[in-house]
Amino acid sequence: MAGTPGHPIFLLLLLCAVGQVSPYSTHWKPTWPAYRLPVVLPQSTFNLAKPDFGAEAKLEVSSSCGPQCHKGTPLPTYEEAKQYLSYETLYANGSRTETQVGIYVLRSGEGQSSGKSRRKRQIYGYDSRFSIFGKDFLLNYPFSTSVKLSTGCTGTLVAEKHVLTAAHCIHDGKTYVKGTQKLRVGFLKPKFKDGQGANDSRSALPEKMKFQWIRVKRTHVPKGWIKGNANDIGMDYDYALLELKKPHKRKFMKIGVSPPAKQLPGGRIHFSGYDNDRPGNLVYRFCDVQDETYDLLYQQCDAQPGASGSGVYVRMWKRQQQKWERKIIGIFSGHQWVDVNGSPQDFNVAVRITPLKYAQICYWIKGNYVDCREG
């Protein structure tokens, strides 16, 4: 594959989106767009020193750079995109590697390269969150895909052994947070009393739930977060993938490329998380998208620390299979105060899964790019 290192990344992005459906057609259904996706492939991997795991876990991320600030930031060049999408891998034994990547667009079977502090508020007026109770809901899709990290955040099952979450849940931009070396993922399950089983006559009563934990084998964090957390570009890369030591045996939710907000059903997003003001409860919410940039979705879904890392999803029509399907299109990151026309306004923010991020996360899951050609 011939390289073109100076090629602007926006030309690559223009090649990705095809097959868009007009929302104004007579019998329009909110349909998953078709994309020609780029390929993100490892080029070289080298060992790094073991981290000290000294950072304090932060359950939310704040930034003063709002939608207009981000819209005024130029898209990264090809070389910058390669740097941001390179990644660190942390293993359960504490060893660590860095992998540098290349970015390619494949066409017609050929390879061609292209390359201020304020009191935080995350509840907006009336609290519109719903606590999910009862195993009939908690153990069924889509709520069953939400899991709890031992560092205090939320994650979402996206494959047989993989969990998608926010990067800040395990890394503060400089080093890994305390407990990451022995990171665990918790799955809610019924908590039966002694002598009481699932077939007991009393099992019709509401059951208490408990977490069953699985250790994490390794984690992937993009260098865009590690390099950029000192400034606002890091917010764009606040995502991480965890690989479990064994399969979880639950239905998972696939990832998808985030469509433009105007193409989302009702302009809304959904997510469920373990908000820390409702300990032990899974909390579901939905709300309208207020604004967007290429990398971020701005909304006012009620949320509290602990919900960060939740998978943001929508349900849209999949034309090929002629069925409705939910997909993860973003990762809930945190809270922002934004200066809008001279007055402060606050948003909760989700990181969008762009075509490049999809290609990267899919490769982390699948281990090859052939299975990552549809977004």
Beta bridge partner(s), residue 131: 283
| Among 168, 163, 164, 78, residue whose Cα is nearest residue 115 | 78
- The b-or-e profile of 184-215 (16+ CB within 10 A means b, else e) is bbbbbebeeeeeeeeeeeeeeeebebebeebe
Burial of 70 (0-12, 13-18, 19+ CB in 10 A): buried
- Do 86 and 335 meet the contact criterion of CB atoms below 8 Å apart? no
Angle value at C-alpha 127, between 126 and 132, nearest 5 degrees: 145
E strands, the chain, are: 38-48, 62-63, 87-91, 96-107, 110-113, 130-132, 146-149, 154-159, 162-165, 184-190, 209-222, 240-244, 268-273, 282-292, 296-299, 311-318, 323-340, 343-352
Q: Within a 10 A sphere around the Cβ of 182, how many other Cβ atoms?
A: 12
| Among 122, 125, 103, residue whose Cα is nearest residue 11 | 103
Which residues are catalytic, by number? 168, 232, 308
Segment holding 225, helix H or strand E: helix 223-228
How far apart CA 96 and CA 140 sit, in angstroms, is: 36
How far apart CA 351 and CA 299 sit, in angstroms, is: 11
Beta bridge partner(s), residue 296: 351
* All residues at 6 or more sequence positions from 263 whose CB lies less than 8 Å from its CB, including other chains: 20, 21, 23, 30, 33
How far apart CA 321 and CA 170 sit, in angstroms, is: 37
Q: What is the CA 75 to chain-centroid distance, rounded?
A: 20
- Do 332 and 303 meet the contact criterion of CB atoms below 8 Å apart? yes
